[in-house]
Amino acid sequence: MAKPLSNTVDKGAANRGALVSDFTRQLVPILPLLVLIVVFLIWPIVNVAIMAFEDNYGNFTFDNFVVASQGVYAQAFGNSISLGIYSALLASIPGAVFAYIIESRGSEFLKRIINSATSVLANSGGVPLAFMFIAAFGAEGSATVLLKAIGLDIYAGGFTLFSYWGLVLVYCFFQIPIMVLVFSPAVQALRREWTEAARSLGASKWQYWRHVGFPLLFPSFSASFLLLFASAFSAYATARAMTVGTIALVPLMIGTLIDGNVIVDQFNLGKALAIGMVLVTALAMVPYLLIQRRVARWQK
Amino acid sequence: MRFKRFAAAAVAVVAAAGMSLTFAAPSQAAINYCKVTDLQSSANGMNGLVAAAKKEGVLNVITLPRDWANYGEAMDLFSKAFGIKINDDNPDGSSAYELQTIATATADKQPDVVDIGVSALNSVTGPGRPSIFANYKVQNFADIPAEWKDAGGAWYGDYNGIIAIAYDSSVSPAPKKISDLTNAAYKGQVALGGDPSAAQEAFMSVFAAAIAKGGSVTNIQPGIDFFKTLKQNGNFTSVLANGANYVSGAYKISLSWNFNAPGAIASAKAAGKTLKYVIPSDVALQGTPYIQAINKKAPHCAAARLWEEFIYSENKGKTSDKITAADKKLPGQALFNTILGGQNIFVSGGATPITVKAMTKKGLLIKAPAGLDVPKSAKLVMPSPDNQAAGKSLVTSQWPNL
């Protein structure tokens, strides 16, 4: 609760002291977090941003950004953004439905099991995840062989795990659990009383969802969607292990530029691409903030 | 109060006197090995270098995989013979990582020695740029071909390899040349050890394919087109060629350095698989040698120099499992002469040591692992650093759309 402004102005010094202690009381507990953010987030970003504007000899230049916005790099941004969007779409909707079903129908025991399982799965990524899929659904994978034995050859129709859509599929494996994990609290917050109240006022199930359920869940849904977008947009190791660079993706190109054996004189181009990724993520925040603002108005 | 101050002053004077006494005490003329540029002009020779390196007790190396060109044995032997602990930072890291570490790491985390690719070398050397390496000429400096060393001893090539076809014994028919890989029997089985714009092995594989398909070191377009064809006919799989993926059956054929054959064959055998290597009969593509250099900021100057002497030693001698306690007590020069030299360690790993010509002449070359002979029909080619620089941009722009 904010104090009325006039109070602090009128009573002068005494209240100013109170204000300071209020300020310190709020700041001190989060100080370690602030230090952490500055050291591990702001400081590296500022450094990367500075180097993105330098050539190999430390002179100021825009060249890195010019190169980063053309040809194969522009294409990489396109692919990474669409990969983020598709994988977020394909994961957020089933994830939200699962979360709702589990929260509304599941027993306590089931909820606990699902909770631990999703926590584990949501954090399975990188090379181990790629390897799991290769071992199961690769050309000689155990699942492939099993399916073939019952007459289902998944490779007959030109499918391959090692393609753009293969990646989208593999990403869903950790994206859906992330969605269940972050969306469940929002579903939990939907009170049974609201359904009952709506019903007693004569609302149909559809009307309840149209006017109460969806609007309440939408902000959380969009926040979760954004999280999924960001995790697929920036995923590196899985894509690297599964494509050896045959699909243009920004994180892979950054890896090639800053940690390769072949190209070793374009670190700063890699940094420009990294700044590009930060910008894309920041831009993706804009619609989210607009939604939040709108929501804040009627949540008062 | 006054007495206390006096006491403090007295203590300080005594301490200072003690300190100056220690400095004044006569000691052996200690050699600063950071300034030593060759062993011949350095007093105490190899005995002195070994003693100083033993005293340092530590060597920082960087990005040396144990199963790469037999580096595991090189590190074990050096460590065991001289009693020097080796810290291998980020064994699977890249040349770029080595350069970044030199540029940014704190003094004690600096690598003493590096093993980098030619592209990485060219990115840090050049007219008017201060050298990041220390000049040091190993005793066998004259045996290194002139085009693969810096005249001042700042860097030198150490070994190179040939792109081989590695394949599982279940593959039928067995591939013999690169152009065989389009065979419809190999559907979904052909893989590369990385992205050619990031991994030297994959990059050189594209060169090899180019030459097999009518291209040349200055025209690698046919190589990229070859992999495009392989992708279209379904033979190429973009899974990363590595031990785990091979064992899981994700691919069966890859283009790989011959010098990783002994290690890879042994790991495959442990997993119940039979991996075979063959040098393609259409093209034997030689990689450019990797480059050794001593870091100017090396924290262990003597150990770094001893490591280079060891890497360029052409000795036939004992491997790490044969070293005895009595050997370790030998004086430096005698101990150095007892152990297998680094150039021969590369040979037993399947690599070609840089001093191969001199070693052959002196009769010092040990036997290479069987089965990796270069077929007579194979065209022997080595892309120059300039060829590679030109090839890079083509791969960077075309590989992502394979």
Are residues A45 and A143 part of one domain? no
Cα A262 from Cα A264, distance rounded (Å): 6
Tens-place pLDDT, residues B373-396: 888 888 889 999 889 989 998 999
> Cα–chain-centroid distance for residue B42?
27
In this structure, what token pair is assigned to residue A238?
């899985």
For chain A, the C-alpha Rg in angstroms (whole number) is 25
B180 or A219: which leads in pLDDT? B180
Is the residue at A40 inside a domain? yes
Closest CA to A80 of A294, A286, A282, A280: A280
> Helix A164-188 to helix A108-122 angle, to the nearest 10 degrees?
140
Q: What is the pLDDT of residue B129?
A: 83
Any CB–CB contact under 8 A between B330 and chain A? no
Residues in chain B within 8 Å Cβ distance of A263: 119, 197-198, 392, 396
As a whole number of Å, the end-to-end CA separation of chain A is 13
- B contacts of A138 (beta carbons < 8 Å): 237, 239, 248-250
DSSP string, B40-98: TTSTTHHHHHHHHHHHH-EEEEES--TTSTTHHHHHHHHHHHHT-EEEEESTT--HHHH
Residues of A in contact with B399 (CB under 8 A): 245-246
The pLDDT of residue A2: 42
What ipTM does the predicted assembly reach? 0.80
Q: Which residue of B has its CA nearest to A74?
A: B397
Q: Token pair for residue B133?
A: 């390496």
Contact A140 B202 (CB under 8 A): no
Q: How far apart are CA B162 and CA B372, in angstroms?
A: 9
Delimit the CATH 3.40.190.10 region(s) of chain B.
33-159+288-362, 163-285+371-401
Give the span between the Cα atoms of B46 and B254, in whole angstroms: 44
Chain mean position to CA B181: 29
Compare all CA atoms of chain B with the CA of A244 and give the residue at the minimum distance. Answer: B195
Cβ-in-10-Å burial (0-12, 13-18, 19+) of A192 comes to: exposed
What is the token pair recorded at B197?
Answer: 């714009």
| CA–CA separation, B153 and B28 (whole Å) | 28
| A193: helix, strand or coil | helix
How many CB atoms sit inside 10 A of residue A162's CB? 27
Q: Has residue A249 been placed in a domain?
A: yes
CB atoms under 10 Å from CB of B108, counted, come to: 9
Q: Which residues contact A70 (CB under 8 A, 6 or more apart)?
A: none
Nearest to B199 among A72, A248, A261 (CB): A261
CA neighbours closer than 13 Å in the CB half-sphere of residue B170: 9
Q: CB A245 to CB B95 under 8 A?
A: no
Does B251 have pLDDT greater than 60?
A: yes
Residues A152 and A295 in one domain: yes
Provide the CA A203 distance to its chain's centre, in angstroms.
Answer: 35
Distance CA A81, CA B63 (A): 33
Distance from CA of B198 to the nearest CA of A (A): 4
Asked if A34 and A148 sit in the same domain, the reply is no
Minimal Cα–Cα distance from B393 to chain A, Å?
Answer: 9
Is residue B18's pLDDT more than 60? no
Phi-psi label, residue A205: left if phi above 0, alpha if psi -120 to 50, beta otherwise = alpha
Same domain, A16 and A98: no
Q: Are B175 and B254 in contact (CB under 8 A)?
A: no
- Count CB pairs under 8 A between chains A and B: 135
| Residues A151 and A239 reside in one and the same domain | yes
In the numeric block, which tokens belong to residue B323? 């070293």
Q: Any idea what the CATH number is for the domain that residue A98 is in?
A: 1.10.3720.10
The tens digit of pLDDT for each residue in B45-88 reads: 999 999 999 999 999 999 999 889 999 999 999 999 999 999 99
Minimal Cα–Cα distance from A126 to chain B, Å?
Answer: 13
Strand partners of residue B62? B89
Q: B51 Cβ partners below 8 Å, 6+ apart?
A: B44, B332
> Is the same domain home to A242 and A280?
yes
Q: Contact B388/B202 with Cβ under 8 angstroms?
A: no
Q: Rounded CA gap, B338 and B336, in Å?
A: 5
Based on the fold, state whether residues A15 and A152 are members of the same structural domain. Answer: no
Strand segments (E) across B106-211: 113-116, 133-134, 156-157, 159-160, 163-168, 190-192
B101 touches chain A (CB under 8 A): no
Of the pLDDT bands very low, low, confident and very high (cuts 50, 70, 90), residue B26 is very low
Locate B56 and state its tokens.
Answer: 């340092």
Q: Are residues A71 and A23 in the same domain?
A: no
One domain for residues A129 and A21: no
CA distances from B219 to B14, B187, B211, B215 (A): 76, 27, 9, 5
Paired sense of beta strands B190-192 and B253-257, if any:
parallel
B31: confidence class by pLDDT, cuts 50, 70, 90: confident
Gap between the Cα atoms of B347 and A81, Å rounded: 48
Would you call A264 and B97 a contact, using CB atoms and an 8 Å cutoff? no
Q: Which residues of B160-174 are buried (b: 16+ CB within 10 A; e: fewer)?
A: bbbbbbbbbeebeee
What distance in Å separates the CA atoms of residue A275 and residue A109, rounded to the nearest whole number?
A: 45
Is B155 in contact with B312 (CB distance < 8 Å)?
no
Give residue B46's pLDDT: 94
Chain A contact set for B402 (CB, 8 A): 246
Instruction: Please tell me the total count of domains within chain A.
Output: 2
Touching A: B residues 149-208, CB under 8 Å: 187-189, 191-192, 194-200, 202-203
Domain that holds residue A172: 64-299
B116, β-bridge pairs? B291
CA distances from A218 to A205, A210, A251, A288 (A): 17, 11, 30, 10
pLDDT of residue B234 exceeding 50, the answer is yes
Contacts of B234 in chain A (CB under 8 A): 160
| Pairing mode, strands B352-353 and B159-160 | antiparallel
- Is A4 among the domain residues? yes
Supply A107's token pair. Answer: 């027993």
Higher pLDDT, B145 or B41: B145
Give the residue among B104, B133, B93, B74 at the shortest CA–CA distance from B349.
B74
Q: Can you give the C-alpha Rg of chain B in angstroms?
A: 25
Does a cis peptide bond (omega within 30 degrees of 0) precede residue B145? no
Q: What's the rounded Cα separation, in Å, for the pair B145 and A119? A: 58
pLDDT one-digit tens code per residue, B280-305:
999 999 999 999 999 999 999 999 99
- Among A residues 127-156, those touching chain B with beta carbons less than 8 Å apart: 131, 134-135, 138-141, 155
The SS3 of residue B117 is coil
Do A274 and A151 lie in one domain? The reply is yes
What's the gap in Å between the CA of B9 and the closest CA on chain A? Answer: 44
Q: What is the mean pLDDT of each run of 10 residues along chain A (300 residues)?
A: 44 57 81 92 93 89 93 95 96 94 88 89 85 85 89 79 90 93 88 88 90 88 92 92 92 90 87 95 88 70
Q: Taking a C-beta distance cutoff of 8 angstroms, is the pair B332, B50 a contact?
A: yes
Q: H or E stretch including B257?
A: strand B253-257
- Condensed to tens digits (0 to 9), the pLDDT of residues B189-223 reads 999 999 999 999 999 999 999 999 999 999 999 99
CA B73 to chain centre: 12
B157 SS3 class: strand
Tokens of B60: 């920082």
The verdict on A183 and A37 lying in the same domain is: no
Selecting from A162, A242, A255 the residue whose C-beta is nearest the C-beta of B198 gives A255
Query: Is B249 within 8 Å of A139 when comparing Cβ atoms?
Result: yes
CATH of the domain spanning B163-285+371-401: 3.40.190.10
Same domain, A255 and A286: yes
Interface of A with B in 10-49 (CB under 8 A): none
Identify from B118, B186, B197, B235 which residue to disrupt to test chain A contact, counting A C-beta atoms within 10 A and taking the largest count. Answer: B197
Kind of pairing between the strands at B190-192 and B352-353 = unpaired
pLDDT at B372: 85
- The Cα–Cα gap between B223 and B235 comes to 15
What's the pLDDT tens digit per position in B100-125?
999 999 999 999 999 999 888 988 88
Q: What's the confidence (pLDDT) of residue A159?
A: 76
Task: Count Cβ atoms within 10 A of the Cβ of residue A3 and give its class: 0-12 exposed, 13-18 middle, 19 or more buried.
Answer: exposed
C-alpha span between B230 and B234 (Å, rounded): 6
Percent share of chain B, pLDDT over 70: 93
Quote the mean pLDDT of chain B.
Answer: 90
Which tokens go with A147? Answer: 């399916």
Is A284 contained in some domain?
A: yes
Cα distances (Å, whole numbers) of residue B136 to B33, B294, B312 = 10, 8, 12
CATH class of B33-159+288-362: alpha beta
**Nearest beta carbon to residue B238 from set A75, A244, A262:** A244
- Residue A59 counted as domain residue: no
B53 Rama class: left (phi>0) / alpha (psi -120 to 50) / beta: alpha
Distance from CA of B205 to the nearest CA of A (A): 13
Q: Can you give the pLDDT at residue B10?
A: 52
pLDDT at B8: 52
Helix (H) or strand (E) holding A250: helix A250-258
